[in-house]
Structure 1
Amino acid sequence: MRTTTSQDRQSVNPLAAVRNLGILAHVDAGKTTVTERILFLAGSTHKRGEVHEGTTVTDFDPQERERGITIFAAAVSCDWAGHRINLIDTPGHVDFADEVERSLRVLDGAVAVFDAVAGVEPQSESVWRQADRHGVPRLAFVNKLDRTGADLDTAVASIRERLGTVPLVVQLPIGQEEGFTGVVDLVRPRALRWPGGQGTLTEGPVPEELRAEAELRRRLLVEAVSELDPVALEEFCATGTLTGDTLAAALREVTRTGAGVVVLCGSAYRNRGIEPLLDAVVDYLPSPLDVPPVRGTSVRGTSVGGPVAVAMAAEVCERPADPAAPFAALVFKVQAAPTGRLTVLRVYSGTVRKGEVVVDVAAGRTERIARILRVQADRHFEVERAVAGDIVAVVGPKAARAGATLCAPSAPLLLEPPTVADPVVSVAVEARRSTDTERLVAALARLAEEDPSLVVRGDAETGQTLLSGMGELHLEVAVEKIRRAQGLEVTVGRPQVAYRETPTRPVTGLVYRHVKQDGGAGQFAQVVLDVAPLVPGEGGAAEFVFGSAVIGGRVPQEYVRAVAAGCRDALLDGPLGGHPVTGVRVTLTDGATHVKDSSEQAFRTAGRLALREALRAGAMVLLEPMTEVTVTVPEDAVGGVLGDLAARRARITGQTSRGGTAQVTAVVPLAELFGYATRLRGRTQGRGTFTGRPAGYAPVPSGSAVAARAR
């Protein structure tokens, strides 16, 4: 028997009428336009915002409006059919993938927007994989059906082939390209049209010329759904078809489990297809009650004022989406605003009111909630409380960062924070006037606090301040934000990529003895290490795996942990050029202690120095970050583009042609892509574009100029 849906419980629990969803897509697929139309139709705005006019609600930052792209994830809320929809418009550019990652961590569902001409593009595939990792149910919206070359079936085929999911198409377009005026609803057969330019919806019978095709497509939809849902299969076997209610319920269950994805279509710019999309959000995406309870580490005995490491005991537990449960929320965004420092969070359980004290579990400190704000992009509306299922901003916490858990002091719970990708590009930044140096340092600190994917560090050799991020555009936006917000004149160096080092051969039985006597307490530690390259997939996503094979208690457990910490210290700077070391498996096989002089510090030092010695003997190789690029150019420019890519050490992985344009995919070293956008426009008279996404690391050719520079 099917479990009770949120619609069934809506009259009992108001959380059933809440939807927390994100809009995901490749850059220029139309995410922000879809969001603007949703807000307009739901009555949250009184005028349709346009990206090209710089009048959108969610792209409110001046840089977003100037560049015409989404840079920062923006939260908005609206009401539709008795439901509250908390919506996050996420960036589509690969440089801002960390904003998407943090947003997906707190969402219950998502709408993935695809271009009807291009289908699944590189970044839309990347964000789809991110949603897979978080288990976020999705709907697919094929946008821009009014464009020349738009084809729903081709876009759906790319969803099936590139995303590995089962697309369940619930609409049939009425008209093609410029003639696209509406859709046929296959769930409850009817025609939905938006005649004229104002996008006013009219409903009527299925057009006679489309009736046969609509019946065929509904039959295929019913068969596909029946294969995925046992309740639908039972009715299908008994009657040979499915009623509209049964089909809708089955589509909801299939969406919740991720067995398939409902596909809708339209043209957001022409105001066509948004109302059915909103209905699908309400009908198919889960409420906070429909997702599993949030899991975290329940920490007992924590001393407020110290880190969570001082806890006496910890156990994994669940918190239900219940306003009466103990309060627990996850911070996923911190931003500066005229009203003060805003901490944006998702409330998973319990209720928090203005003036209450909460605890930041990881930091072990208390914070007072001074104000609670309902967020509408750059506008905020004060409310008295926030309950489970809400996405709100709070004013008051002074130190909580993205990934922090805020919860009731009486029931501390530590939630898993979003993962943060390692930066791959760095630039040196300095104030043009020496008197502004302190202001620049403070501005960089605030910037890193708002965006965890930005890292600020000092270069010990040059004395420069380095700002590291996910790409050229990421760093360019960050520096420009400092210039505008702080009025600082900043000098920026040439971008440098983040190289890595890794061993290529094992070193076994390396013995290292650390002995130090300086008149006071001595230090003694002896370790024996086996060091080897990580086999691909051995450590999962880990870059370092440590293990102990010590027997007989020759090295106490607390010293084993100290050796592991020392090894991690050694990985910060490798022997080739001081770059971080990755892909290492270290096994502590033996050791020795001294009754008086052994300590955790001594074994940490021994672990660090021993691993450094092993790495120097392990035939290290330099790694550079790689990028998978997709270059779209006119067919007559393909030859020049291929030659240019070859000169950039690219490995061509594919080439297709369609409608007078060619699409080339290649894997290119990130260091070779600096300035590529300008070069590509010059070679193609401004008609060429490219997109990229991280493709891991690869060895730098030995003896190359790149290797010499990196060393």
Structure 2
Amino acid sequence: MKTLNVGILAHVDAGKTSLTERLLHDVGVIDEIGSVDDGTTRTDSLALERQRGITIRSAVASFVVDGVTVNLIDTPGHPDFIAEVERVLDLLDGVVLVVSAIEGVQAQTRVLMRTLRRLRLPTLIFINKIDRAGADPDRVLRDIAERLISSVVAIGAVATAGTGDARFVPHADGDPAFTRELRDLLTACDDRLLAEYVEHEGRLTGQRLRGALAAQSRQAVVHPVFAGSAITGAGVASLIGGLTELLPAAEPDAESPTSGVVFKVERSPSGEKIAYVRLFAGTVRIRDRLPVAAGRIATVTGIEVFDRGSTVRADAVNAGRIALLHGLGDVRIGDPVGLARTGVSVRHFALPSLETVVVPARGANQMALYAALSELAEQDPLINVRRDAVRREITVSLYGEVQKEVLQATLADEYGLAVDFRETTTVFAERPVGTGGAVELIGVAPNPFLATVGLRVAPGETGSGVQFRLGVERGSMPPAFFTAVEETVRETLGQGLYGWQVLDCVVTMTHAGYWARQSHSHGTFDKSMSSTAGDFRNLTPLVLIAALRCAGTRVHEPVHRFRLEAPADVLSVLLPTLARLDAEPHTTTAQGQAYVVEGLIPARRVRAVERRLPTLTHGEGIFESAFDHHRPVRGEPPVRARWDQNPTDRKEYLLAVNRRVPRRIADTGGRDT
């Protein structure tokens, strides 16, 4: 059976979870539609999700339509939980992007669509809430074409919008206006179709155009737009038909070697880790032994698959499906299961731009707090839990204040830990300015380690992350030593010359050398004469920091794109206030009795705007912002205190790794390249 993995994405409150609930009802998975407000939806299963009426964790539900198994993945809409969206994007075959017929295109909508375009993910757009007062689907459709993507086409029209009787009427294949619009859009994107139209205009019938629409939609060239209401069910039947007609379902590749990826981790009541795995190829059976992260081999002890809105136990799972696998041990999000996929982008959205110190209500709970946060980091690695042994502080990274509130409630409810947070601060980043290199040779002072490591650092393209390359022969050292260097490079770049994470750089290993395993005559292995992975892990930070110093780094600050809607009579006061808070308004547009201001603002100023807005706008202002880019800091760069062994200070670092005096090294015939 063919499979189709579809993500439901939206700005918060666009009705994404309600639409998921309606879809499950209309395909017969559930008998009664749950309510987000009442906390009775199927996919919002966490107590906090039910209490707050927002999606915090992604959830999966499965059903069958037209002989295709559809795995529907409901994702959070709130920007504070964008990491959940991040983790599922590479698993998807297609997307339904939900837009409110009242609010229209919002900040998070644009962030999502920009990423979907870059990934070329086939996307259907659903304009929701056509039954609500103030709904204007025609305006929203124009808004989508102007602000999201121009290659859209409405599959139908909305009648009596803004009333309880609102309905979606699909265009007939013979509708002249629809045929003309579809022909113009599709021929603009396909030269062969254009040639066919020029030579034989009569061949481009409604049916022929429908086929071309399906083909271009599956290739993410055009984006069909549906409309309806998740509450009344209007238009949902058309959307269900569009899932299998317009998105690329695939035959499972069950015979190839097993290849999958872990995108979510939960713990059972007994504490066992359960891995949510999207299987791209092969078949997994109970008792199969599979390679997982770091070269480990794990035995699958249990399999659950999604079926009709719940999970059921299974003896095997084929490619294309999403399964819960037991027995994989200490797996983490992003770990491969079986063969690792190559050429897959791993970063779609910016890293968290905020951080805070978590303070336990009672000092005695410090260790329990760190253990609890480490467990939560299994579900959300981007909170980046770290403990400073010097200041005895625990710091976490955040996307926003709502995430902080959820974290606080989770620690209280699930772990019985009462915590407070210090003031949220902005996370800056570093980027290399130029190219620089450094090398330390085995047996040559002042290198105290039995390893040769040479590294060159150069700037990478924006958004490319950290790329590690080999400039030496792969066979010149044992693979474990290269692995130790690469892992340590990535870890060390978490703190650059100013203490901030280094982004978008290329690190090339230019020199490598080691002493092979040796022993005294007829004796046992002698560590003092033989290189180990520990030597490479200890030496790499010193070489990397030296290379960074040669290259130089510049601190960048996160900048958000904002949209502010406010009454016209407060605009004269609002704009000067935004200027004082370093905001850069780019456009100011009249919208009825209000004005909409859009522009850029430093992330460190967002909270200040949010605090002042109610007073400035008499409680009528609406402010939205989302990360847009990093830009160089003007003036003195901010410095963050380090929490590692500080390789920027060689003496301090060597003391920290217990290498107080460089060892005496004799020439024993080691190898360098």
> TM tier, shorter chain?
0.7 to 0.9
In structure 2, do the counterparts of structure 1 residues 582 and 515 end up closer, same or farther at CA, with 3 Å as the change threshold? farther
Residue 358 (1) aligns with residue 290 (2)? yes
- Write the distance in 2 (CA, Å) between the matches of 1:360 and 1:246: 47
The answer to whether the Cα contact below 8 Å between 2:55 and 2:77 also exists between their aligned partners in 1 is yes
Aligned-partner residue type, residue 501 of structure 2:
P
**Which of these residues, 419, 422, 444, is aligned with residue 346 of structure 2?**
419
In structure 2, do the counterparts of structure 1 residues 508 and 458 end up closer, same or farther at CA, with 3 Å as the change threshold? closer
Paired position in structure 1 for 2:326: 395
**What does 1:206-225 correspond to in 2, within 5 Å?**
215-225=176-186
**Which of these residues, 602, 605, 618, is aligned with residue 669 of structure 1?**
602
- Write the distance in 2 (CA, Å) between the matches of 1:125 and 1:709: 32
Q: Aligned pair count?
A: 622
Secondary structure in 1 matching 2:312: strand
Paired position in structure 2 for 1:178: 163
**What does 1:147-162 correspond to in 2, within 5 Å?**
147-162=132-147
The answer to whether the Cα contact below 8 Å between 1:650 and 1:667 also exists between their aligned partners in 2 is yes
Paired position in structure 2 for 1:307: none
Q: Which moved more, 1:237-246 or 1:580-589?
A: 580-589
In structure 2, do the counterparts of structure 1 residues 237 and 458 end up closer, same or farther at CA, with 3 Å as the change threshold? same
Residue 252 (1) aligns with residue 219 (2)? no
- Write the distance in 1 (CA, Å) between the matches of 2:158 and 2:615: 39
**Unmatched 5+ residue regions in structure 1?**
1-13, 190-213, 290-320
The answer to whether the Cα contact below 8 Å between 1:499 and 1:710 also exists between their aligned partners in 2 is no
Secondary structure in 1 matching 2:200: helix
**What does 1:661-700 correspond to in 2, within 5 Å?**
661-674=594-607, 676-700=609-633
- Write the distance in 1 (CA, Å) between the matches of 2:602 and 2:198: 53
The answer to whether the Cα contact below 8 Å between 1:101 and 1:418 also exists between their aligned partners in 2 is no
Task: Report the Cα offset of residue 651 of structure 1.
Answer: 1.8
- Write the distance in 1 (CA, Å) between the matches of 2:328 and 2:295: 12
In structure 2, do the counterparts of structure 1 residues 354 and 575 end up closer, same or farther at CA, with 3 Å as the change threshold? closer
In structure 2, do the counterparts of structure 1 residues 546 and 436 end up closer, same or farther at CA, with 3 Å as the change threshold? closer
Structure with larger RCO (C-alpha < 8 A, sep 6+): 2
The answer to whether the Cα contact below 8 Å between 1:343 and 1:395 also exists between their aligned partners in 2 is yes
**What does 1:126-275 correspond to in 2, within 5 Å?**
126-178=111-163, 181-188=166-173, 215-229=176-190, 230=192, 234=196, 238=200, 240=202, 242-275=204-237
In structure 2, do the counterparts of structure 1 residues 416 and 459 end up closer, same or farther at CA, with 3 Å as the change threshold? farther
Paired position in structure 2 for 1:449: 378
Superposed CA offset, 1:441-474 (max 9, x none): 2211211111122211112441211112333323
- Write the distance in 1 (CA, Å) between the matches of 2:362 and 2:294: 38
Paired position in structure 2 for 1:542: 464
Secondary structure in 2 matching 1:427: strand
Alpha-carbon RMSD: 4.0
**Which of these residues, 555, 558, 562, is aligned with residue 625 of structure 1?**
558
The answer to whether the Cα contact below 8 Å between 2:581 and 2:605 also exists between their aligned partners in 1 is yes
Superposed CA offset, 1:52-84 (max 9, x none): 232222222222233322221111122334443
Task: Report the Cα offset of residue 486 of structure 1.
Answer: 1.2
The normalised TM-score by structure 1 is 0.76
Superposed CA offset, 1:265-306 (max 9, x none): 1222332110111111121111123xxxxxxxxxxxxxxxxx
- Write the distance in 1 (CA, Å) between the matches of 2:630 and 2:125: 32
The answer to whether the Cα contact below 8 Å between 1:358 and 1:367 also exists between their aligned partners in 2 is yes
- Write the distance in 2 (CA, Å) between the matches of 1:616 and 1:413: 34
Q: Which moved more, 1:221-230 or 1:595-604?
A: 595-604
- Write the distance in 2 (CA, Å) between the matches of 1:99 and 1:594: 45
Q: Which moved more, 1:219-228 or 1:652-661?
A: 219-228
Paired position in structure 2 for 1:282: 244
Q: Which moved more, 1:601-610 or 1:387-396?
A: 601-610
Secondary structure in 2 matching 1:178: coil
**What does 1:545-694 correspond to in 2, within 5 Å?**
571-576=493-498, 578-582=499-503, 608-609=541-542, 612=545, 621-674=554-607, 676-694=609-627
Paired position in structure 2 for 1:302: none
The answer to whether the Cα contact below 8 Å between 1:142 and 1:152 also exists between their aligned partners in 2 is yes
**Which of these residues, 460, 481, 484, is aligned with residue 410 of structure 2?**
481
Secondary structure in 2 matching 1:119: coil
Paired position in structure 1 for 2:276: 344
Residue 79 (1) aligns with residue 64 (2)? yes
- Write the distance in 1 (CA, Å) between the matches of 2:91 and 2:162: 37
In structure 2, do the counterparts of structure 1 residues 682 and 586 end up closer, same or farther at CA, with 3 Å as the change threshold? same
Superposed CA offset, 1:485-512 (max 9, x none): 11212232222222234465x5879898
Paired position in structure 2 for 1:69: 54
The answer to whether the Cα contact below 8 Å between 2:137 and 2:161 also exists between their aligned partners in 1 is no
In structure 2, do the counterparts of structure 1 residues 243 and 608 end up closer, same or farther at CA, with 3 Å as the change threshold? same
Identical-residue share of aligned pairs (%): 31
Paired position in structure 2 for 1:198: none
In structure 2, do the counterparts of structure 1 residues 180 and 234 end up closer, same or farther at CA, with 3 Å as the change threshold? farther
Secondary structure in 2 matching 1:389: coil
Aligned-partner residue type, residue 285 of structure 1:
L
Task: Report the Cα offset of residue 129 of structure 1.
Answer: 2.6
In structure 2, do the counterparts of structure 1 residues 79 and 236 end up closer, same or farther at CA, with 3 Å as the change threshold? farther
Residue 91 (1) aligns with residue 52 (2)? no
Paired position in structure 1 for 2:263: 332
- Write the distance in 2 (CA, Å) between the matches of 1:260 and 1:323: 31
Residue 368 (1) aligns with residue 300 (2)? yes
Task: Report the Cα offset of residue 602 of structure 1.
Answer: 8.2
Paired position in structure 2 for 1:104: 89
The answer to whether the Cα contact below 8 Å between 1:360 and 1:366 also exists between their aligned partners in 2 is yes
Task: Report the Cα offset of residue 42 of structure 1.
Answer: 1.3
The answer to whether the Cα contact below 8 Å between 2:461 and 2:505 also exists between their aligned partners in 1 is no
In structure 2, do the counterparts of structure 1 residues 251 and 266 end up closer, same or farther at CA, with 3 Å as the change threshold? same
Aligned-partner residue type, residue 256 of structure 1:
R
Aligned-partner residue type, residue 318 of structure 2:
V
- Write the distance in 1 (CA, Å) between the matches of 2:275 and 2:510: 47
The answer to whether the Cα contact below 8 Å between 2:442 and 2:514 also exists between their aligned partners in 1 is no
Superposed CA offset, 1:91-127 (max 9, x none): 1222222211221211111111122344332211221
The normalised TM-score by structure 2 is 0.80
- Write the distance in 1 (CA, Å) between the matches of 2:611 and 2:52: 16
The answer to whether the Cα contact below 8 Å between 1:510 and 1:530 also exists between their aligned partners in 2 is yes
Secondary structure in 1 matching 2:18: helix
- Write the distance in 2 (CA, Å) between the matches of 1:590 and 1:222: 59
The answer to whether the Cα contact below 8 Å between 1:566 and 1:606 also exists between their aligned partners in 2 is no
Task: Report the Cα offset of residue 686 of structure 1.
Answer: 3.4
Task: Report the Cα offset of residue 174 of structure 1.
Answer: 2.0
Aligned-partner residue type, residue 110 of structure 2:
E
Paired position in structure 2 for 1:437: 366
Secondary structure in 2 matching 1:240: helix
Q: Which moved more, 1:430-439 or 1:80-89?
A: 430-439
Q: Which moved more, 1:433-442 or 1:596-605?
A: 596-605
